[in-house]
Amino acid sequence: MSTTKFLTEDEHLIQLARLYWELDREEKTFPHQLKSLAPRFAIPANKLTKTVLETCEASSPAIVCETCGRARRYDSRKDYLEAQRYYSRYGSWRCWECYNEEERRRREEEEKRRELAARQALALRLHHKELIEKAHARQEGRDYLLPTELSLTSAVYLFSAMKAGGPVCPRAFWERLTTGFEEPDVFAPRIIKDISLTKAFDEEILDRLKARGLVAVSAASEPETFGFHEDLIVGYDPGRVQ
């Protein structure tokens, strides 16, 4: 049932609004059709709803906003019937202002959550980078093997790895050609992969070179190429690490 508040003292219009909003006994339909009301009140049928809305405010004491408690207002009989259907289906209703406010708050919280997640991811990445740097820092003053001490296998493996890691240009050549340009660091960390035809053989080659101190995992590698378990580095992707 709706409550009507009249905004006029014109009895003629009040009577029209009463009939317009009058419900049948089951409160399911409006028995007074527009086409029968129009000639009775000498108002065109298409102007009738507008006239009624200017005459009175119809609201529902049964359907109120669950947030602010404001009663549901109706701007047509169709609106009224839709509101009843919605309410009987969902058992609650929220006004447009409260709905918008909640949406705004929800978006704000979502944004905050995303920012926090991004900050945490960045902090974790930095932490992982520190762990990598600690674990793979260049060991200066370490005894490297002399070329004459290399076994033939190691030498072949080393050259294959160097080739797979991209061409190494003699410094003098670059000095001649790139005057004024930044000199590329031939010892800069690089990704070494596809040395041989199989991944297993690649790993064998790298393991041998690593064991002899001829190649090492660089601390400059991206943290995403490593696997971590809490504060321990548990592995890395040989195809992506530098």
* Closest distance of CB 92 from Zn ion, Å: 11
* Closest distance of CB 72 from Zn ion, Å: 10
* 203-236 residues labelled b (16+ CB within 10 A) or e (exposed): eebbebbeebebbebbbebbbebbebeeeebeeb
Which pairing describes strands 71-74 and 226-229: parallel, antiparallel, or unpaired? Answer: unpaired
Identify the CA nearest to 193 among candidates 214, 216, 162, 222.
162
What tokens does 211 get? 């064991």
* Closest distance of CB 101 from Zn ion, Å: 8
Identify the CA nearest to 53 among candidates 85, 21, 30, 28.
21
Please, which of residues 196-225 interact with Zn ion by CB under 5 A? Answer: none
List the Cα angle 80/85/91 in 5-degree steps: 110
* Closest distance of CB 71 from Zn ion, Å: 10
* Closest distance of CB 75 from Zn ion, Å: 17
Residue 24 or 97: which CB sits closer to Zn ion? Answer: 97
Residue 51 or 67: which CB sits closer to Zn ion? Answer: 67
Compute CA distances 193 → 84, 125, 143, whole Å.
Answer: 68, 24, 26
Please, which of residues 52-111 interact with Zn ion by CB under 5 A? Answer: 65, 67-68, 95, 98
* Beta carbons of 224 and 242 less than 8 angstroms apart: no
* Closest distance of CB 234 from Zn ion, Å: 54
Q: How far apart are CA 224 and CA 125, in angstroms?
A: 8
Residue 72 or 136: which CB sits closer to Zn ion? Answer: 72
Q: How far apart are CA 231 and CA 127, in angstroms?
A: 9
Residue 65 or 186: which CB sits closer to Zn ion? Answer: 65
Residue 18 or 94: which CB sits closer to Zn ion? Answer: 94
Residue 16 or 95: which CB sits closer to Zn ion? Answer: 95
Total number of residues that touch Zn ion (CB under 5 A): 5
What tokens does 23 get? 């419900």
Beta strands in 65-204 (DSSP E): 71-74
Residue 100 or 153: which CB sits closer to Zn ion? Answer: 100
Please, which of residues 170-189 interact with Zn ion by CB under 5 A? Answer: none
* Closest distance of CB 93 from Zn ion, Å: 9
Q: Is 131 helix (H, G, I), strand (E, B) or coil?
A: helix
Q: Which residue has tokens 């109706």?
A: 74
What residue ranges bind Zn ion (CB under 5 A)? 65, 67-68, 95, 98
